Each structure stands twice: as C-alpha cells, then as structure tokens.
Structure 1
Amino acid sequence: MLPEPMLTSPTLRTWLPPGWAGEPKWDGFRALLSLDGKVVQLSSRHGTDMTAAFPEITGGAAAQLADATLLDGELVIRDPGQLASESLHHRVRHRGADAVRAARQMPTHFVAFDVLRTTGTVTTGWSYQRRRAALESLFTARRLRAPFTLCPSATDPDQVAQWLTRRQNGIEGVVYKRLTDPYRPGVRGWLEHKPYETTQAVVGAVTGTLAAPRTLLLGRPGSDGHLHCVGRTVTLSMAVGALLGPLLAPVGTQHQWTGEACATGRGSGEITELVLVEPELVVEVAVDTARDASGRWRHPARFHRVRAELRPMHVPEFGEPDY
C-alpha cells in the first residue's frame, strides 16, 4: 500500500514567498511510482492502481530505478507544443495488448517532483530542500532518461513568474513548497496558483430547471456559423440561479445542440437532464488556461456576471484564445 500524496491548497498569491520553492503545475495525472522487491506499482492520487495501463512507465521503472524507490510526480503525454491531458483518460482504460499498443501511439512521461524513499531510506521526514537534492542526485546517479523527466524547481521569483505566463505548453500554474517542510501524506501543505482569465460565452443550455439552473452549458460561435460547446460552469449558488432564471428563454422550434452531447471538463462524462435554452444570453466567466485538443475549457468556469449589453456575435469566436 502506497502512502497518500501530499496535497495543495489554492492561493491567489502570484509571487514566490521567501523561503519557498516554486514548481510548474503540470496538466496531467498525479501519480506515485514504486519499485520494491522488483515489483513496480503505479498508483493515482486516489489510490487507483494504474500499473497495467502504462507499461512504458512500469518498464522504465524496472529498468532504470534502484530497488526500494518511491517517487511522486505527474503522468503527462506530450503533443507538439503542449500536453494532451485528455489522452490520459483514454490511456488509463487500456490493459494488456491494448495498453502496449496505446503506449506506442501515445507514450507517457513521468515528471518526477519528489522522492519519498530512496534505496530503502524513507525520506518523508526530510525537508523539501533535502529531498529535492536527493531527487536530483538520483537522476544524475541513475542517468535517468525517458520516460522520466525531472520537474524544474526554482527559488528565483523571476523564473517562477515566467512559468505563470506559459499558456500553451501544459503548465497550468505553479506550486509553492516551503523549503523546510517535510512531506506530509494526505495534508494540504503546498500552495497552488492557477492564473484565471475573465471572458465571455453564450448560455446554450442548463442543468437543473429553467427557473433555477444549477450549471450553465456555454458556447461560442465558430467560423462555420455553428454554436460550439466550449465549457460549463461550476455549480451555481441558489442566488445566482434565481438571478439567471428569468433571463433564460425556453428553446423555440430548433436548437443547434438538439441531439448532441455537450460533455466538457475532466471526468464530466455525458451531462444528463440537459435543458436547452435560446442561445441569446451572454455571461462573463472566469476560466483557467487549460484547454483540450479541440479548444474546449478542460475545467469548469466560474460565473462572474451577466453581460446584458453584449450579443452572441460579440463573444470571442470558438478556438480563439481568451488572453
């Protein structure tokens, strides 16, 4: 049984505090990787066994790591110029020959950012600074190569600020880690900052009821004249739902999304109890910088306000950047 990973708490802080280190926050799957008695185990943040789904990672661990090693890191799939996090959802379902085939088509990398055990020595009680030095020494001594990548770490505020401005290469934000802190499994002892942008979209459907919507399904017009689903909101408060209800009109004879599934966001699956509305209301929302391969927002947006002065033609075109 592998330990729980140390976790993060969100922060609005955009600068690196003194006495802390910053690391990029990757757009991938958090994972713990263990080699113990020549047995490799790859576990998700929630303890799900992913060993059989990623043979290139487990094979790399067996070939390159020393026995009794435990790493914390992120699984990522690289596309030209960015990371393809949605491909990980397909990869994690494969087993056996299908997993081997998927590994050739969509190879995964393990970005290591912490070491919890090295050649049998448990390091969770060590400071971050000491664990980081041990991790760098492990990469040097073992001459680790693909599928392993050493996560960058910096105490230079300018370097950390640069990571916050990278929008298209799989960096979702930054994680701040106190140099003197031990690794505390299951504790939210690190801080995570994701940059958000405010932008506009058209309400095309809701979940819940028209009078009291629970979430908004948002769209943007494309160059083809079609309203493309771009994302959804987090669950609305009752007060916001009551505000929006009177502004939403039931759909008339036809809607562009009739018969379509508009499931967006990581793990959202198919959205049920979808109520289509006339795509007339423009709202302003806050979104982070993560996008899937089609240009949809990967994470739910936060409702900000109604933009009654705008028409659907005024919102950014589908596929255009929000910054």
Structure 2
Amino acid sequence: MKLPVMPPVAPMLAKSVPTIPPGASYEPKWDGFRSLIFRDGDDVEFGSRNEKPMTRYFPELVEAVRAELPPRCVLDGEIVVATDAGLDFEALQQRVHPAVSRVTMLSEKTPASFIAFDLLALDDEDYTGRPFAERRAALANALAGARAPIHLTPTTTDLAVAERWFVELEGAHLDGVIAKPLDGTYQPDKRVMFKIKHVRTADCVLAGFRWHKTSTEAAPLVGSLLLGLYHDDGRLQHVGVVGAFTAKRRAELVEELAPLLLGEGDDHPWQEWASAEAHQGQRLPGNVSRWNATKDLSFVPLRPERVLEVKYEHMEGTRFRHLAHFVRWRDDRTPESCTYEQLEQPLTYALDDIVPGLGAKAG
C-alpha cells in the first residue's frame, strides 16, 4: 500500500458544545465505530479511533470498498449497523469477535454500512491541508456513483435545518449534530470540530454497586452505581450505571451506602441474576464483559430504597446508551415513582429518509 496519507492515522475529533454554532457545515452525528478507510487497489484497511485495524471484522465492507470506491483513496467515516428501527449499536458491538466463523456469520446476519463524511486523500493528492468545503466537494464527486453499503452523509450550511435534524434524527438513534468549520483543515487527533449531543435527566432507583478496580479490603472504593427503572408491571429494569467519581467520593460512598446493604434473608429484585443461566444472551449487571472475558462485572446488591437524578444522552431499547452521570440524590422521591413514563420519547425517523438506501436492507 502506497498512498499520500498512510495508516495508522488518528481521526480528527470534536469537542462538545451546548448549542449548534452558526456559520459552519452541519451533518448528523452517526452512532457507530469511527473508521478511516485506506484503499490502494485491492489493498484495503479499516483504521479505528485507537489506530488499530478493524479490517478483519467487516469482510462485507472490504468487498464493497473494492467495488464502490475510487481505486486509491483515504476516507473518514462511521461503520454502522442499520435496522428498520434505526441504528443498532449493540449489534455493531457483536461484530467485533475473535472467531473467524462468527465474523463470517455476522457479516451475513447483521451486515454493516459505511457512512463517509470526509476525504483525506484521492489518487496521489493529499487533501488534509485543504479546507473542509473543498474536501467535501471532492468527496461528493468521488462517491457520486457509489451504492449501498457505502453512503455519503448529508450536509447542510443552513442552521435551521441543522436544528431540525438535532430534534428529528434522534428518532433513528442518531447521536446529535456535528459542526465543521468550512475553512478548517483535517487535523488528526485534534478537537477542531464541534459536537452537539442530547442531554436529559432521569430519576432512577439505586439497586447496587460495583467495587472500583483499585479497591482493596484496607481501602475500599465504590466503582459505579447500578440504576433501575420500574416497568408498568412492577419489574425493576437495570438501565445502566453511574461512574466517574473522584477517589475521595468513591471512599465516601462506601460508608454512605452501607445502610442499604441486604440483611440476612432480604430479597432483591435482581437476585435471580446470580444464576449463570440467567445471563445467556442478556445484558445483566453480573454478566461477563463482551470485551474482556476475565473482567469481573459482579455487583453488590442494595435495598432499592434511594433515588438519584442522573444525566443521560439517549436510550437504546430499555437502557441508557452511554454512561450516565450523577446529578444529586432525590430523597424527596419514592423508588416506585421512578418509571419509564418520565423519559422523553423522541420522534421516530426512518434511516432511509436521511441516507437513501441505508435502512432498506435491514432484516
């Protein structure tokens, strides 16, 4: 492989801002795996944010790149799995597997798509020093004849359209909006773009905690708090965790949570999850990590009597998509009042309306 821009390359990054800035190019923020494609003839490599190759996990995209992209190019974009309901990040996570047989099976069962949104090189030309407006025009021209599963992300310079996207596209499980300076160059590993993401709050039941990885018997530290919400039928659903505490606060939580520890004979709504069989095919608090089979995800159950307010971005099914953040204790709320009804429901939106053909192959 011999290209004007050679792997590995760390992708250009974005910093969070609270509102959509004026005077930029706007595009949807796709919720997938960030990836750079390097193609030189039949040689194809998919880079990642940590600069490690992801090529082996997406054989169907390697073939699509050879069929649909210019013979020599470097593109920046996002690998996603699209379904009729929108983007499916959990299905995408399942694609990263060490077994070749499973990778092959999943490439057929949950095929991925690539959404291109920047151009680093084309033929013998290095585009990284050119303004984004010029890179975008060259990218659109290079992908003019590309077919699924290779797609070009939509863009606009109309702030009103970007604001509408921010509201509407969440219903297809998109992450928000990206704003790029029109005159900005491509700067690897630099936060020179802007991302605007949804942030909401919810009151959740505290139902357990995990010990921090540095916790010891002499110096115990709480790692994360396990959150629950009640279904209409009275079941307490595990919805995610809160972490990112200071070391001082982790130590304080050990004493603060001690009165909630289960006593002899106390029941817990998640006690059946102690059984290994309960974890088959499910995401439960005591399950084994998909990324590290030796990682201990066991938890300490607590009586579900305290309520805390958390910040979250959006839901994926019945769970928070990302790590939630602690806001405050809500001792004025009863655990039973913490239900799914409090959550804001985004409008539904079809992926095919954003990028034609993206959701059409879902199955």
Tell whether the 8 Å contact from 1:25 to 1:174 is kept in structure 2 after alignment.
yes
- Report SS of the residue matched to 1:4: coil
Q: What's the CA shift for 1:201? A: 0.5
Distance 1:226 1:181, change over 3 A: same
CA distance in 2, matches of 1:178, 1:211: 47
Q: Which runs of 5+ in 1 are unaligned?
A: none
Q: What's the CA shift for 1:224? A: 3.7
Tell whether the 8 Å contact from 2:37 to 2:75 is kept in structure 1 after alignment.
yes
Q: What's the CA shift for 1:300? A: 0.7
Q: Partner residue of 1:148?
A: 150
- Correspondence 1:305 to 2:328: yes
- Report SS of the residue matched to 2:320: coil
After alignment, is 251-260 or 126-135 more displaced?
251-260
TM-score by length of 2: 0.80
CA distance in 2, matches of 1:211, 1:90: 33
Count of aligned residue pairs for this structure pair: 316
- Report SS of the residue matched to 2:171: coil
CA distance in 1, matches of 2:64, 2:226: 42
Q: Partner residue of 2:230?
A: 221
Distance 1:272 1:99, change over 3 A: closer
- Report SS of the residue matched to 1:149: strand
Tell whether the 8 Å contact from 2:33 to 2:48 is kept in structure 1 after alignment.
yes
Amino acid at match of 1:78: A
Equivalent runs, 1:167-246 vs 2, <5 Å: 167-208=170-211, 213-238=222-247, 240-241=249-250, 242=252, 245-246=255-256
CA distance in 2, matches of 1:284, 1:245: 20
Per-residue CA deviations over 1:198-250 (Å, capped at 9, x if unaligned) read: 11110001123898633211011223422111010122235655379536511
Amino acid at match of 1:157: L
- Report SS of the residue matched to 1:168: helix
Sequence identity (%): 30
Distance 1:88 1:263, change over 3 A: farther
Per-residue CA deviations over 1:50-90 (Å, capped at 9, x if unaligned) read: 11211111001111212221110000101113100111111
CA distance in 1, matches of 2:49, 2:183: 24
- Report SS of the residue matched to 1:184: coil
Q: Partner residue of 1:88?
A: 92
Match of 1:99 among 84, 96, 103: 103
Tell whether the 8 Å contact from 1:30 to 1:75 is kept in structure 2 after alignment.
yes
- Correspondence 1:251 to 2:251: no
Tell whether the 8 Å contact from 2:286 to 2:299 is kept in structure 1 after alignment.
no
Amino acid at match of 1:103: S
CA distance in 2, matches of 1:40, 1:46: 18
Q: Partner residue of 1:5?
A: 11
CA distance in 1, matches of 2:230, 2:328: 20
CA distance in 2, matches of 1:172, 1:164: 9
Amino acid at match of 1:76: V
CA distance in 2, matches of 1:95, 1:54: 13
CA distance in 2, matches of 1:128, 1:173: 20
- Correspondence 1:315 to 2:338: yes
CA distance in 1, matches of 2:17, 2:22: 12
Q: Partner residue of 1:17?
A: 22
CA distance in 2, matches of 1:304, 1:58: 44
TM-score by length of 1: 0.89
Q: What's the CA shift for 1:281? A: 0.5
Amino acid at match of 2:13: L
Amino acid at match of 1:8: A
Distance 1:301 1:149, change over 3 A: same
Amino acid at match of 1:21: S
CA distance in 2, matches of 1:281, 1:271: 25
Tell whether the 8 Å contact from 1:266 to 1:299 is kept in structure 2 after alignment.
no
Tell whether the 8 Å contact from 1:109 to 1:148 is kept in structure 2 after alignment.
yes
Amino acid at match of 1:105: K
CA distance in 2, matches of 1:27, 1:310: 33
CA distance in 2, matches of 1:85, 1:155: 28
Distance 1:45 1:211, change over 3 A: closer
Q: What's the CA shift for 1:267? A: 6.0
Q: Which runs of 5+ in 2 are unaligned?
A: 1-6, 274-283, 346-363
Equivalent runs, 1:258-297 vs 2, <5 Å: 258=271, 260=273, 261-262=284-285, 272=297, 274-289=299-314, 291-292=315-316, 294-297=317-320
Tell whether the 8 Å contact from 1:220 to 1:317 is kept in structure 2 after alignment.
yes
- Report SS of the residue matched to 2:25: strand
Tell whether the 8 Å contact from 1:16 to 1:176 is kept in structure 2 after alignment.
yes
Tell whether the 8 Å contact from 1:217 to 1:231 is kept in structure 2 after alignment.
yes
After alignment, is 87-96 or 179-188 more displaced?
87-96
CA distance in 1, matches of 2:162, 2:86: 19
CA distance in 2, matches of 1:158, 1:263: 45
